[in-house]
Each structure stands twice: as structure tokens, then as C-alpha cells.
């Protein structure tokens, strides 16, 4: 079972990808769907690898990510 879990609010995400490059486990990726503002939002592509370190949430400028551990 994964040690952590992220919840990314699709409406807040602007696809800057700061979280994608900051995740030490490479869990996150730009998804295939767009939100109502037209941004391809980030999703947890490898949720099983998440350790709940919250590095993604720390760098997120939009406060879009909440993390559980």
C-alpha cells in the first residue's frame, strides 16, 4: 500500500509542473484532461509510489495540492 496520498484540485492547477519536477518519487504527470480554464491539469500518475512527503504541495504556487501520510 502507498505510504501517502495527494489530492490535486483540478480547477486550481495551471500546469506549471513545479510539482512534477519536485516529486522525489516521480509520481506526478500532466494529465490528458483540461479544466474549465483550459489548463491540462496535473494528476497522480503513479499513486502507489507516493510517500506523502508533500514536496509537491510545498512548491505549488496555487495551493492546489493537499497531502496525506
Partner 1 sequence: MDKVYKRTLGIQEGVVSGFCPGCMHGTAHKLVGEVVEELGKLDKLVRVEGVGCCGLGQAYVSHDTIIAAHGRACAVATGVKRCSPDSLVYTYQGDGDLASIGLDETVSAANRGENFTVIFINNGIYGMTGGQMAPTTLIGMKATTAPFGRKAEEHGYPMHVCEVLAQLKAPQFLVRTTVDTPQNVIKTRKYIKQAFQNQIDGKGFSLVEIVTTCPTNWGFTPKDSITFLRENMLAEFPVGVYRDKDAGIE
Residue 27 or 65: the one with the smaller Cβ distance to partner 1 is 65
Q: Would you tell me which residues interact with partner 1 (CB under 8 A)?
A: 4-5, 11-12, 14-18, 21-22, 37, 39, 52, 54-69
Grouping H, G, I as helix, E, B as strand and the rest as coil, residue 5 is strand
Are the CB atoms for 47 and 8 separated by under 8 Å? no
Q: How many CB atoms lie within 10 A of CB 20?
A: 17
Residue 27 or 64: the one with the smaller Cβ distance to partner 1 is 64
Nearest approach, Cβ of residue 52 and partner 1 (Å) = 6
Amino acid at each position: 500500500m502507498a505510504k501517502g496520498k495527494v489530492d490535486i484540485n483540478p480547477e486550481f492547477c495551471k500546469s506549471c509542473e513545479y510539482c512534477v519536477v519536485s516529486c522525489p518519487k516521480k509520481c506526478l504527470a500532466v494529465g490528458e484532461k483540461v479544466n474549465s480554464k483550459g489548463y491540462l491539469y496535473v494528476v497522480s500518475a503513479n499513486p502507489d509510489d507516493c510517500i506523502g512527503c508533500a514536496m509537491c504541495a510545498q512548491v505549488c504556487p496555487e495551493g492546489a495540492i493537499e497531502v496525506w501520510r
